[in-house]
């Protein structure tokens, strides 16, 4: 049989199997332990807001296992925080998904319409199998979770302005641009949140500190020439994206950079950037792909280095009395959820009573 005949048959079998699973109710809850009380929007005074929804987790009939990103990482972080005793089930804020109107604050209409084509989403997520999946299923199981996490970024920034510190257990899609997606990122969530807050008169200037291992080309391209948004980006210069883009303040590192070098440079650069820009809000794009165990970067940081990095950013922001929001960005090793959870736990234990 020729390849021309085999391809449609494979596509037909794949789609038939998916339809059968939907019809038989084989889609299970992403987080069956979640309680309804967790959607409450009230938190005790002094508690650092953590934004989370079980809808953040990405599952698509097992296809997500073909991708380097762990689609259930977010629920793993939440479970760690519950086990550690720093949170109970009712003390997470549940966000609303970002709306189409809010997406247009940054994205073009033509780009958002292009996401209706499975092939385009497959290209952005670098998972070619998705080209055979109906666009409605992709929207439901992949794009909707990303819109929800983007809404979480907006809610987290709002809560940071109110309480000084807030953390989104998700978000940080820093390769998405105005009219493009890439590097597993579809929606440009942080610039969207900043622009919405500025339009509401809540802030004038925001600083993005991007410590994900990959350069945040999307955030930088989407905000270039905007005097109200300043980007400080620490990244591995030897990895994606290619070529690197112009940024407000790029801090490239060579391959195999160790934690001590990385942390020293962060402590040198960030205070200068804050002094120069004087932001009303800091958003930390805190990727865990800087870990030595991560397959998609060459950085050599340990879990403890990531924890120290995240606590340092919060400590500096609080010392200067600047609200700080943290989003989790990328991370592809089996230590990713652990590193994020320990950072959040450390921030809670150190700053909760001071929030």
For 139-160, the pLDDT digits (tens) are: 888 899 999 999 999 999 999 9
For 53-101, the pLDDT digits (tens) are: 999 988 764 544 544 556 688 999 999 999 999 999 889 999 999 999 9
Longest pairwise C-alpha distance within the chain = 69
> What pLDDT shows up at residue 252?
98
Residues 276, 277, 278, CA angle at the centre, nearest 5°? Answer: 105
Assigned superfamily of 41-354: Histone deacetylase domain (3.40.800.20)
Spatial strand order in the sheet of 324-327: 50-51, 165-168, 324-327, 281-285, 206-210, 229-236, 249-253
> What pLDDT shows up at residue 130?
78
For 118-140, the pLDDT digits (tens) are: 999 998 988 878 788 888 988 88
Say if residues 355 and 163 touch (Cβ distance below 8 Å): yes
309 or 332: which leads in pLDDT: 309
Percent with pLDDT over 90 in the chain: 73
> What pLDDT shows up at residue 41?
53
For 17-34, the pLDDT digits (tens) are: 443 333 333 333 344 334
Q: Which of 80, 91, 107, 175 is catalytic?
A: 175
Candidates 189, 168, 151, 143; CA nearest to 52 is 168
Written as six digits, the tokens of 252 are 């490239």
Who contacts 11 (Cβ-Cβ below 8 Å, separation ≥6)? 132
> What pLDDT shows up at residue 354?
45
Catalytic residue status for 79 = no
Distances (CA, A) of 278 to 171, 263, 270, 272, 323: 24, 22, 11, 10, 12
Alpha-carbon distance of 254 to 10, in angstroms, equals 43
* pTM greater than 0.85 (yes/no): yes
Is residue 220 over pLDDT 80? yes
**How is the chain split into domains, by residue range?**
41-354
């Amino acid at each position: 049989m020729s390849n021309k005949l085999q391809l449609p048959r494979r596509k037909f079998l794949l789609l038939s199997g998916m339809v059968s699973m939907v019809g038989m109710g084989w889609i299970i809850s992403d987080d069956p332990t979640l309680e309804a009380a967790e959607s409450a929007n009230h938190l005790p005074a002094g508690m650092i807001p953590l934004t989370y929804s079980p809808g953040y987790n990405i599952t698509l009939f097992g296809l997500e296992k073909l991708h380097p990103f762990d689609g259930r990482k977010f629920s793993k972080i939440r479970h760690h925080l519950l086990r550690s005793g720093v949170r109970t089930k009712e003390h997470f804020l549940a966000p609303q998904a970002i709306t189409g109107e809010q997406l247009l604050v940054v994205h073009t209409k033509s780009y958002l319409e292009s996401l209706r084509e499975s092939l385009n989403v497959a290209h952005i997520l670098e998972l070619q199998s998705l080209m055979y999946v109906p666009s409605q299923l992709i929207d439901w199981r992949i794009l909707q979770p990303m819109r929800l996490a983007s809404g979480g970024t907006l809610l987290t920034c709002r809560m940071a302005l109110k309480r000084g510190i807030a953390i989104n257990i998700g978000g940080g899609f820093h390769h998405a641009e105005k009219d493009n997606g890439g590097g597993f990122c579809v929606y440009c969530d942080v610039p969207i949140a900043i622009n919405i807050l500025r339009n509401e008169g809540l802030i004038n200037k925001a600083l993005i500190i991007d410590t994900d291992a990959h350069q945040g080309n999307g955030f930088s391209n989407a905000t270039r020439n905007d005097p109200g948004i300043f980007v400080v980006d620490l990244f591995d210069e030897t990895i994606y994206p290619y070529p690197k883009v112009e940024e407000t303040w790029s801090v490239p590192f060579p391959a195999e950079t160790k934690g001590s070098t990385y942390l020293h440079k962060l402590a040198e650069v960030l205070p200068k950037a804050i002094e120069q820009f004087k932001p009303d809000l800091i958003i930390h794009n805190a990727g865990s792909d800087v870990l030595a165990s991560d397959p998609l970067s060459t950085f050599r940081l340990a879990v403890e280095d990531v924890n120290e990095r995240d606590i340092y950013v919060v400590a500096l922001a609080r010392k200067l009395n600047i609200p700080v929001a943290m989003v989790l960005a990328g991370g592809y090793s089996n230590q990713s959820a652990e590193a994020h959870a320990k950072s959040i736990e450390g921030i809670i234990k150190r700053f909760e009573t001071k929030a």
